[in-house]
Amino acid sequence: MSQLTVDVRSLDLTDPAAFLRNDVHEFWRRARVAHPVYWHDPTDRKPGFWVVSRYSDVQSSYSNPALSSVRGNVLDVVLRGDDSAGGSMLAVTDGAHHRRLRTVLHRAFTPRVLGEVVEKVRHRTTELLSTVAGLDSFDFAAEVADHIPMNTICDLLSIPTADRADLLRWNKMALSSDRADSTELDALGARNEILLYLMELTQDRRDDPGSDVISMLATAVVDDRPLTVAEIAVNCYSLILGGDETSRVSAIGAVLALIENPDQWHALRAGDVTVDSAVEEVLRWTTPPLHVARTAVQDLDIGGTTVREGDIVTLWNVSANNDESVFAQPRRFLLSRSPNKHLSLGHGPHFCLGAFLGRAELRVLLGALVAGVARMELRGAPRPLYSNFIYGCDSLPVHFARR
Protein backbone atom coordinates (compact mmCIF):
# COMPACT_ATOMS: atom_id res chain seq x y z
CA MET A 1 0.00 0.00 0.00
CA SER A 2 1.42 3.37 -1.02
CA GLN A 3 0.71 6.87 0.21
CA LEU A 4 -2.03 8.77 -1.55
CA THR A 5 -0.45 11.02 -4.16
CA VAL A 6 -3.47 11.86 -6.32
CA ASP A 7 -6.40 14.23 -5.93
CA VAL A 8 -9.22 12.53 -4.01
CA ARG A 9 -11.75 12.94 -6.81
CA SER A 10 -9.46 11.36 -9.40
CA LEU A 11 -9.18 7.99 -7.65
CA ASP A 12 -11.24 5.32 -9.45
CA LEU A 13 -13.39 3.69 -6.75
CA THR A 14 -14.70 1.13 -9.23
CA ASP A 15 -11.19 -0.37 -9.52
CA PRO A 16 -10.34 -2.89 -6.78
CA ALA A 17 -6.64 -2.22 -7.36
CA ALA A 18 -7.13 1.33 -6.06
CA PHE A 19 -7.75 -0.12 -2.59
CA LEU A 20 -4.47 -2.04 -2.70
CA ARG A 21 -2.21 0.64 -4.18
CA ASN A 22 -3.29 3.50 -1.93
CA ASP A 23 -3.63 4.29 1.75
CA VAL A 24 -7.38 3.78 2.06
CA HIS A 25 -7.78 5.57 5.37
CA GLU A 26 -5.74 8.59 4.28
CA PHE A 27 -7.91 8.80 1.17
CA TRP A 28 -11.11 8.87 3.20
CA ARG A 29 -9.69 11.33 5.73
CA ARG A 30 -9.01 13.76 2.91
CA ALA A 31 -12.41 13.12 1.36
CA ARG A 32 -14.24 13.90 4.62
CA VAL A 33 -12.35 17.18 4.94
CA ALA A 34 -12.34 18.47 1.36
CA HIS A 35 -15.08 16.60 -0.54
CA PRO A 36 -17.52 14.92 1.89
CA VAL A 37 -20.10 14.51 -0.89
CA TYR A 38 -18.68 14.50 -4.42
CA TRP A 39 -19.51 13.28 -7.90
CA HIS A 40 -17.39 10.38 -9.15
CA ASP A 41 -16.99 10.75 -12.90
CA PRO A 42 -18.04 7.93 -15.26
CA THR A 43 -15.33 5.34 -15.99
CA ASP A 44 -14.92 2.58 -18.56
CA ARG A 45 -18.40 2.94 -20.03
CA LYS A 46 -19.93 2.94 -16.53
CA PRO A 47 -22.04 5.84 -15.22
CA GLY A 48 -20.93 8.29 -12.55
CA PHE A 49 -22.16 8.26 -8.96
CA TRP A 50 -22.16 10.23 -5.73
CA VAL A 51 -19.65 9.42 -2.97
CA VAL A 52 -20.73 10.08 0.63
CA SER A 53 -18.04 9.84 3.32
CA ARG A 54 -19.01 11.64 6.56
CA TYR A 55 -20.61 9.63 9.36
CA SER A 56 -23.61 11.94 9.80
CA ASP A 57 -24.42 11.91 6.09
CA VAL A 58 -23.95 8.15 5.74
CA GLN A 59 -26.08 7.39 8.80
CA SER A 60 -28.95 9.68 7.78
CA SER A 61 -28.85 8.40 4.19
CA TYR A 62 -29.36 4.82 5.38
CA SER A 63 -32.80 5.81 6.68
CA ASN A 64 -33.80 8.20 3.88
CA PRO A 65 -36.75 6.79 1.89
CA ALA A 66 -35.67 8.91 -1.08
CA LEU A 67 -32.75 6.49 -1.50
CA SER A 68 -33.83 3.08 -2.78
CA SER A 69 -32.00 -0.24 -2.73
CA VAL A 70 -34.19 -1.91 -5.38
CA ARG A 71 -31.80 -1.30 -8.28
CA GLY A 72 -28.95 -2.81 -6.25
CA ASN A 73 -26.95 -2.26 -3.07
CA VAL A 74 -23.45 -3.03 -4.37
CA LEU A 75 -21.70 -0.51 -6.61
CA ASP A 76 -20.50 -2.97 -9.26
CA VAL A 77 -24.01 -4.37 -9.64
CA VAL A 78 -25.92 -1.09 -9.84
CA LEU A 79 -23.41 0.38 -12.32
CA ARG A 80 -24.21 -2.48 -14.71
CA GLY A 81 -27.94 -1.87 -14.44
CA ASP A 82 -30.78 -3.11 -12.28
CA ASP A 83 -30.14 -5.95 -9.84
CA SER A 84 -32.03 -8.99 -11.12
CA ALA A 85 -33.09 -9.73 -7.52
CA GLY A 86 -34.52 -6.24 -6.99
CA GLY A 87 -37.93 -6.42 -5.33
CA SER A 88 -37.39 -10.09 -4.38
CA MET A 89 -34.25 -10.27 -2.20
CA LEU A 90 -34.65 -8.61 1.21
CA ALA A 91 -31.48 -6.54 0.82
CA VAL A 92 -32.78 -5.00 -2.42
CA THR A 93 -36.41 -4.34 -1.52
CA ASP A 94 -38.00 -1.33 0.11
CA GLY A 95 -41.24 -0.21 1.72
CA ALA A 96 -44.11 -2.41 2.82
CA HIS A 97 -42.93 -5.54 0.99
CA HIS A 98 -39.50 -5.20 2.64
CA ARG A 99 -41.10 -4.96 6.08
CA ARG A 100 -43.30 -8.02 5.56
CA LEU A 101 -40.49 -10.12 4.07
CA ARG A 102 -38.14 -9.07 6.87
CA THR A 103 -40.73 -10.11 9.46
CA VAL A 104 -40.82 -13.62 7.97
CA LEU A 105 -37.02 -13.95 7.78
CA HIS A 106 -36.54 -12.48 11.25
CA ARG A 107 -38.21 -15.54 12.78
CA ALA A 108 -35.07 -17.52 11.96
CA PHE A 109 -32.71 -15.00 13.58
CA THR A 110 -34.08 -14.45 17.06
CA PRO A 111 -31.71 -15.26 19.94
CA ARG A 112 -34.07 -18.02 21.10
CA VAL A 113 -34.07 -19.78 17.73
CA LEU A 114 -30.32 -19.33 17.28
CA GLY A 115 -29.35 -20.81 20.64
CA GLU A 116 -28.58 -24.26 19.20
CA VAL A 117 -26.76 -22.74 16.23
CA VAL A 118 -24.51 -20.63 18.47
CA GLU A 119 -23.69 -23.72 20.52
CA LYS A 120 -22.54 -25.41 17.29
CA VAL A 121 -20.40 -22.32 16.55
CA ARG A 122 -18.79 -22.64 19.98
CA HIS A 123 -18.03 -26.33 19.52
CA ARG A 124 -16.72 -25.88 15.97
CA THR A 125 -14.51 -22.88 16.87
CA THR A 126 -13.01 -24.57 19.92
CA GLU A 127 -12.29 -27.72 17.92
CA LEU A 128 -10.67 -25.82 15.04
CA LEU A 129 -8.44 -23.77 17.35
CA SER A 130 -7.43 -26.87 19.27
CA THR A 131 -6.34 -28.47 16.00
CA VAL A 132 -4.10 -25.59 14.87
CA ALA A 133 -2.75 -24.29 18.18
CA GLY A 134 0.86 -25.35 18.59
CA LEU A 135 1.54 -25.79 14.88
CA ASP A 136 4.66 -23.99 13.70
CA SER A 137 2.61 -22.14 11.07
CA PHE A 138 -0.88 -22.30 9.59
CA ASP A 139 -3.22 -20.11 7.57
CA PHE A 140 -5.89 -18.83 9.96
CA ALA A 141 -8.13 -17.92 7.03
CA ALA A 142 -8.04 -21.35 5.40
CA GLU A 143 -7.90 -23.52 8.53
CA VAL A 144 -10.27 -21.64 10.84
CA ALA A 145 -12.15 -18.61 9.46
CA ASP A 146 -13.28 -20.35 6.26
CA HIS A 147 -15.07 -23.03 8.24
CA ILE A 148 -17.09 -21.08 10.79
CA PRO A 149 -19.50 -18.58 9.11
CA MET A 150 -20.31 -20.70 6.05
CA ASN A 151 -20.99 -23.79 8.14
CA THR A 152 -23.12 -21.72 10.51
CA ILE A 153 -25.35 -20.43 7.70
CA CYS A 154 -25.41 -23.90 6.17
CA ASP A 155 -26.57 -25.26 9.53
CA LEU A 156 -29.45 -22.77 9.44
CA LEU A 157 -30.34 -23.79 5.89
CA SER A 158 -29.67 -27.51 6.51
CA ILE A 159 -27.35 -27.68 3.51
CA PRO A 160 -25.70 -31.11 3.14
CA THR A 161 -22.12 -31.20 4.40
CA ALA A 162 -20.85 -32.54 1.07
CA ASP A 163 -22.04 -29.40 -0.75
CA ARG A 164 -20.56 -26.78 1.57
CA ALA A 165 -17.06 -26.60 0.07
CA ASP A 166 -18.53 -25.74 -3.34
CA LEU A 167 -20.70 -23.01 -1.80
CA LEU A 168 -17.69 -21.48 -0.04
CA ARG A 169 -15.65 -21.52 -3.25
CA TRP A 170 -18.45 -19.92 -5.27
CA ASN A 171 -19.16 -17.32 -2.59
CA LYS A 172 -15.51 -16.24 -2.43
CA MET A 173 -15.64 -15.53 -6.16
CA ALA A 174 -19.00 -13.73 -6.06
CA LEU A 175 -18.00 -10.49 -4.31
CA SER A 176 -14.22 -10.54 -3.92
CA SER A 177 -11.12 -12.42 -4.94
CA ASP A 178 -7.49 -12.95 -4.08
CA ARG A 179 -6.69 -12.72 -7.81
CA ALA A 180 -6.29 -9.57 -9.86
CA ASP A 181 -7.18 -11.51 -13.04
CA SER A 182 -10.67 -12.38 -11.77
CA THR A 183 -13.35 -11.02 -14.09
CA GLU A 184 -16.94 -9.87 -13.76
CA LEU A 185 -17.85 -13.02 -15.70
CA ASP A 186 -16.19 -15.15 -13.01
CA ALA A 187 -18.25 -13.42 -10.32
CA LEU A 188 -21.47 -13.71 -12.33
CA GLY A 189 -20.84 -17.39 -12.96
CA ALA A 190 -20.26 -18.01 -9.25
CA ARG A 191 -23.48 -16.22 -8.30
CA ASN A 192 -25.44 -18.22 -10.85
CA GLU A 193 -24.00 -21.49 -9.54
CA ILE A 194 -25.19 -20.62 -6.02
CA LEU A 195 -28.65 -19.59 -7.20
CA LEU A 196 -29.16 -22.70 -9.33
CA TYR A 197 -28.08 -24.89 -6.42
CA LEU A 198 -30.44 -23.10 -4.01
CA MET A 199 -33.38 -23.26 -6.44
CA GLU A 200 -32.99 -27.02 -6.71
CA LEU A 201 -32.72 -27.36 -2.93
CA THR A 202 -35.75 -25.10 -2.43
CA GLN A 203 -37.90 -27.26 -4.70
CA ASP A 204 -36.84 -30.34 -2.73
CA ARG A 205 -37.80 -28.66 0.57
CA ARG A 206 -41.12 -27.47 -0.87
CA ASP A 207 -41.93 -31.05 -1.78
CA ASP A 208 -40.69 -32.40 1.55
CA PRO A 209 -40.36 -29.58 4.14
CA GLY A 210 -38.29 -29.86 7.31
CA SER A 211 -37.56 -27.47 10.20
CA ASP A 212 -34.83 -25.41 8.47
CA VAL A 213 -34.98 -21.84 7.13
CA ILE A 214 -35.47 -22.91 3.51
CA SER A 215 -38.46 -25.02 4.50
CA MET A 216 -39.82 -22.13 6.57
CA LEU A 217 -39.65 -19.83 3.55
CA ALA A 218 -41.07 -22.52 1.27
CA THR A 219 -44.22 -22.63 3.39
CA ALA A 220 -44.44 -18.91 4.22
CA VAL A 221 -46.98 -16.43 2.85
CA VAL A 222 -45.91 -12.85 2.06
CA ASP A 223 -48.35 -10.30 0.60
CA ASP A 224 -51.08 -12.97 0.59
CA ARG A 225 -49.16 -15.42 -1.59
CA PRO A 226 -46.46 -18.06 -1.26
CA LEU A 227 -42.94 -17.03 -2.23
CA THR A 228 -41.75 -18.41 -5.55
CA VAL A 229 -38.83 -20.82 -5.77
CA ALA A 230 -36.70 -18.03 -7.27
CA GLU A 231 -37.62 -15.60 -4.44
CA ILE A 232 -36.70 -18.16 -1.80
CA ALA A 233 -33.41 -18.94 -3.55
CA VAL A 234 -32.31 -15.29 -3.78
CA ASN A 235 -33.12 -14.66 -0.12
CA CYS A 236 -31.20 -17.73 0.98
CA TYR A 237 -28.36 -16.52 -1.23
CA SER A 238 -28.52 -13.17 0.57
CA LEU A 239 -28.16 -14.98 3.90
CA ILE A 240 -25.06 -16.78 2.58
CA LEU A 241 -23.57 -13.53 1.27
CA GLY A 242 -24.16 -11.64 4.49
CA GLY A 243 -23.42 -14.52 6.80
CA ASP A 244 -20.22 -15.82 5.24
CA GLU A 245 -18.10 -13.15 3.60
CA THR A 246 -18.36 -10.36 6.16
CA SER A 247 -18.10 -12.65 9.21
CA ARG A 248 -15.15 -14.53 7.74
CA VAL A 249 -13.25 -11.35 6.88
CA SER A 250 -13.97 -9.74 10.27
CA ALA A 251 -12.66 -12.87 12.05
CA ILE A 252 -9.43 -12.74 10.03
CA GLY A 253 -9.16 -9.00 10.68
CA ALA A 254 -9.70 -9.55 14.40
CA VAL A 255 -6.72 -11.90 14.69
CA LEU A 256 -4.50 -9.62 12.60
CA ALA A 257 -5.46 -6.57 14.69
CA LEU A 258 -4.75 -8.41 17.96
CA ILE A 259 -1.32 -9.49 16.69
CA GLU A 260 -0.48 -5.97 15.53
CA ASN A 261 -1.75 -4.45 18.79
CA PRO A 262 -0.35 -6.67 21.56
CA ASP A 263 -1.46 -4.27 24.29
CA GLN A 264 -5.07 -4.90 23.28
CA TRP A 265 -4.52 -8.66 23.19
CA HIS A 266 -3.09 -8.49 26.69
CA ALA A 267 -6.03 -6.35 27.87
CA LEU A 268 -8.49 -8.88 26.47
CA ARG A 269 -6.68 -11.85 28.04
CA ALA A 270 -6.45 -10.08 31.39
CA GLY A 271 -10.16 -9.29 31.40
CA ASP A 272 -9.53 -5.55 31.37
CA VAL A 273 -12.02 -5.20 28.52
CA THR A 274 -15.23 -7.13 27.97
CA VAL A 275 -15.63 -9.46 25.02
CA ASP A 276 -18.78 -7.58 23.99
CA SER A 277 -16.87 -4.30 23.79
CA ALA A 278 -14.08 -6.03 21.86
CA VAL A 279 -16.59 -7.38 19.33
CA GLU A 280 -17.86 -3.88 18.54
CA GLU A 281 -14.35 -2.53 18.02
CA VAL A 282 -13.45 -5.44 15.77
CA LEU A 283 -16.52 -4.70 13.66
CA ARG A 284 -15.65 -1.00 13.45
CA TRP A 285 -11.97 -1.61 12.79
CA THR A 286 -12.43 -4.21 10.07
CA THR A 287 -15.57 -2.76 8.40
CA PRO A 288 -15.74 -5.64 5.88
CA PRO A 289 -18.46 -4.07 3.66
CA LEU A 290 -16.72 -0.94 2.40
CA HIS A 291 -19.89 0.60 1.02
CA VAL A 292 -23.54 0.22 0.15
CA ALA A 293 -25.17 1.62 -2.97
CA ARG A 294 -28.53 3.31 -3.35
CA THR A 295 -30.46 5.05 -6.14
CA ALA A 296 -32.30 8.33 -5.62
CA VAL A 297 -36.02 7.99 -6.37
CA GLN A 298 -36.53 11.75 -5.97
CA ASP A 299 -34.39 14.85 -5.62
CA LEU A 300 -32.82 15.19 -2.18
CA ASP A 301 -30.10 17.00 -0.22
CA ILE A 302 -27.12 15.16 1.23
CA GLY A 303 -24.69 17.26 3.26
CA GLY A 304 -25.69 20.43 1.44
CA THR A 305 -25.36 18.84 -2.01
CA THR A 306 -28.34 18.34 -4.32
CA VAL A 307 -28.75 14.80 -5.59
CA ARG A 308 -31.11 14.31 -8.50
CA GLU A 309 -33.71 11.60 -9.04
CA GLY A 310 -32.08 8.62 -10.76
CA ASP A 311 -28.57 9.33 -9.46
CA ILE A 312 -26.56 6.48 -7.92
CA VAL A 313 -25.36 7.21 -4.37
CA THR A 314 -22.65 5.26 -2.52
CA LEU A 315 -22.42 5.34 1.28
CA TRP A 316 -18.90 4.48 2.46
CA ASN A 317 -19.00 2.67 5.80
CA VAL A 318 -15.21 2.49 5.92
CA SER A 319 -15.04 6.27 5.99
CA ALA A 320 -17.94 6.79 8.39
CA ASN A 321 -16.41 4.33 10.87
CA ASN A 322 -13.21 6.38 10.93
CA ASP A 323 -14.78 9.83 11.11
CA GLU A 324 -12.83 11.86 13.69
CA SER A 325 -15.93 13.83 14.63
CA VAL A 326 -17.50 10.62 16.00
CA PHE A 327 -14.57 8.33 16.92
CA ALA A 328 -11.62 9.75 18.86
CA GLN A 329 -8.33 8.53 17.38
CA PRO A 330 -10.15 6.33 14.85
CA ARG A 331 -6.99 4.63 13.58
CA ARG A 332 -6.27 3.35 17.07
CA PHE A 333 -7.52 -0.19 17.71
CA LEU A 334 -9.10 0.22 21.15
CA LEU A 335 -11.18 -2.68 22.49
CA SER A 336 -12.63 -0.58 25.32
CA ARG A 337 -13.95 2.09 22.93
CA SER A 338 -17.27 3.49 24.14
CA PRO A 339 -19.56 4.63 22.73
CA ASN A 340 -18.97 2.72 19.50
CA LYS A 341 -21.90 3.34 17.18
CA HIS A 342 -20.23 2.01 14.06
CA LEU A 343 -22.12 1.38 10.81
CA SER A 344 -20.54 -1.97 9.91
CA LEU A 345 -23.93 -3.66 10.24
CA GLY A 346 -25.81 -0.87 8.50
CA HIS A 347 -28.49 1.35 9.98
CA GLY A 348 -32.22 1.89 9.70
CA PRO A 349 -34.64 -0.40 7.83
CA HIS A 350 -31.80 -2.40 6.26
CA PHE A 351 -29.89 -3.01 9.50
CA CYS A 352 -28.21 -6.41 9.20
CA LEU A 353 -30.73 -9.20 9.81
CA GLY A 354 -27.96 -11.50 11.04
CA ALA A 355 -26.39 -8.99 13.44
CA PHE A 356 -26.97 -11.18 16.50
CA LEU A 357 -25.42 -14.20 14.81
CA GLY A 358 -22.44 -12.25 13.43
CA ARG A 359 -21.71 -10.79 16.84
CA ALA A 360 -22.10 -14.20 18.45
CA GLU A 361 -19.53 -15.72 16.08
CA LEU A 362 -16.98 -13.04 16.95
CA ARG A 363 -17.79 -13.34 20.64
CA VAL A 364 -17.17 -17.09 20.53
CA LEU A 365 -13.92 -16.64 18.56
CA LEU A 366 -12.49 -14.05 20.95
CA GLY A 367 -13.49 -16.13 23.96
CA ALA A 368 -11.90 -19.24 22.49
CA LEU A 369 -8.68 -17.37 21.72
CA VAL A 370 -8.47 -16.12 25.31
CA ALA A 371 -9.15 -19.58 26.70
CA GLY A 372 -6.82 -21.57 24.47
CA VAL A 373 -4.07 -19.33 23.07
CA ALA A 374 -1.18 -17.78 24.99
CA ARG A 375 0.56 -16.00 22.14
CA MET A 376 -0.13 -15.18 18.47
CA GLU A 377 2.51 -14.35 15.86
CA LEU A 378 2.50 -13.53 12.17
CA ARG A 379 4.39 -16.06 10.04
CA GLY A 380 4.09 -14.35 6.69
CA ALA A 381 2.43 -11.47 4.88
CA PRO A 382 -1.38 -11.32 4.92
CA ARG A 383 -2.88 -11.57 1.42
CA PRO A 384 -5.42 -8.80 0.75
CA LEU A 385 -8.69 -9.37 -1.06
CA TYR A 386 -9.09 -7.91 -4.53
CA SER A 387 -12.37 -6.06 -4.15
CA ASN A 388 -13.92 -2.61 -3.96
CA PHE A 389 -16.74 -3.97 -1.78
CA ILE A 390 -15.20 -6.33 0.80
CA TYR A 391 -12.14 -5.05 2.65
CA GLY A 392 -9.76 -7.41 4.38
CA CYS A 393 -7.52 -10.43 3.90
CA ASP A 394 -8.01 -13.84 2.35
CA SER A 395 -4.91 -15.43 3.87
CA LEU A 396 -3.21 -14.95 7.24
CA PRO A 397 -0.16 -17.13 8.06
CA VAL A 398 0.20 -17.28 11.84
CA HIS A 399 1.47 -19.26 14.82
CA PHE A 400 -0.64 -19.80 17.94
CA ALA A 401 1.11 -20.94 21.11
CA ARG A 402 -1.11 -23.05 23.32
CA ARG A 403 -2.16 -21.58 26.63
- Please give the pLDDT value at position 397: 98
Domain residues of the chain, as ranges?
8-402
Side chain identity at residue 387, one-letter code: S
Q: Sheet harboring 67-68: ordered strands across?
A: 37-40, 49-52, 312-316, 291-296, 67-68
Q: What is the mean pLDDT of residues 174-203?
A: 78
- Please give the pLDDT value at position 45: 80
Euclidean distance between CA atoms 253 and 66, whole angstroms: 34
CB 281 within 8 A of CB 334: yes
Q: How far is CA 369 from CA 126, 276, 335, in A?
A: 9, 14, 15
- Please give the pLDDT value at position 74: 94
Cis status, amide bond into 339, omega within 30 of 0: yes
Identify which has the larger pLDDT, 78 or 177: 78
- Please give the pLDDT value at position 6: 62
- Please give the pLDDT value at position 298: 98
Task: Identify the band that residue 2 occupies on the pLDDT scale cut at 50, 70 and 90.
Answer: low
In tens, the pLDDT along 209-266 reads 988 889 989 989 999 999 999 999 999 988 888 788 889 999 999 999 999 999 999 9
Q: Which of 102-106, 297-301, 303-307, 374-378 has the lowest mean pLDDT?
A: 102-106
Helix axes 275-286, 355-372, angle to 10 degrees: 110
In tens, the pLDDT along 284-301 reads 999 999 999 999 999 999
- Please give the pLDDT value at position 11: 93
- Please give the pLDDT value at position 274: 97
In tens, the pLDDT along 270-280 reads 999 999 999 99
Task: Identify the band that residue 44 occupies on the pLDDT scale cut at 50, 70 and 90.
Answer: confident
How large a percentage of the chain has pLDDT more than 70? 96
In tens, the pLDDT along 130-141 reads 999 999 999 999
CB 244 within 8 A of CB 149: yes
Q: Is the model's pTM score more than 0.85? A: yes
Euclidean distance between CA atoms 361 and 342, whole angstroms: 18
Domain 8-402 class in CATH: mainly alpha
CB 251 within 8 A of CB 145: yes
Q: What is the mean pLDDT of residues 59-76?
A: 97
Q: What are the residues facing 2 on neighbouring strands? A: 22
Identify which has the larger pLDDT, 292 or 113: 292
Q: What is the mean pLDDT of residues 152-181?
A: 80
Across all residues in the chain, what is the average pLDDT?
Answer: 93
Flag whether pLDDT at 180 surpasses 70. Answer: no
In tens, the pLDDT along 327-349 reads 999 999 999 999 999 999 999 99
Task: Identify the band that residue 182 occupies on the pLDDT scale cut at 50, 70 and 90.
Answer: low
Q: What is the mean pLDDT of residues 61-83?
A: 95
Euclidean distance between CA atoms 48 and 46, whole angstroms: 7
Helix axes 164-175, 149-157, angle to 10 degrees: 120
Q: What is the mean pLDDT of residues 10-31?
A: 94
- Please give the pLDDT value at position 245: 84
